[in-house]
Amino acid sequence: MGLRINQVPSTPMPIDGKGNQGNVNTRGPRRTKYTLIDLPIPYSRVYTDKWRKQFVPNLLAWAGSLEDPFGTNGQLNSEIVNLWKEVFPELALSQRSKDMEIVQTVVRALTRSQIGSI
């Protein structure tokens, strides 16, 4: 009488609704995390100071001056382009470019961190 050992396969990862196995991201694709270095400006003290001391405060002041400051998304792109021309006249910024996405993402991250530190 012998002892027989059967090897049991490892437990599979959960299956999502589409039949995929593995680590399932239920929140959808993640947004790229851009930082100050990703901005379409030369990474130098002159430009980063202009960004921090002129561009961001003026953009926030504009948003705060609106009757509904939390509903600025529809007007944000055009205001970013106008302000960009004023603060960085030597640097072009297209309203429909990847640069616009980067600027918006960095502004949002910066304002969240500022609000969180209050």
Q: Where are the domains of the chain?
A: 36-65+73-116
Structure tokens at 36: 């100050």
Structure tokens at 81: 């382009």
List the beta strands (DSSP E) in the chain. none
pLDDT category, 25, cuts 50, 70, 90?
low
70 phi and psi, to 5 degrees?
-90, -5
- Are 51 and 41 a contacting pair, CB within 8 Å? yes
Q: Which of 34, 26, 10, 25 is nearest to 98 (CA)?
A: 34
Structure tokens at 23: 């680590």
Average pLDDT over all residues of the chain: 78
Q: 109: burial class by Cβ within 10 Å (0-12, 13-18, 19+)? A: middle
Mean pLDDT value of segment 17-23: 54
- Of all residues in the chain, the percent with pLDDT exceeding 70 is 68
In eight-state DSSP terms, residue 18 is T
pLDDT per position as a tens digit, 46-95: 999 999 999 999 998 998 888 887 777 778 888 999 999 999 999 998 77
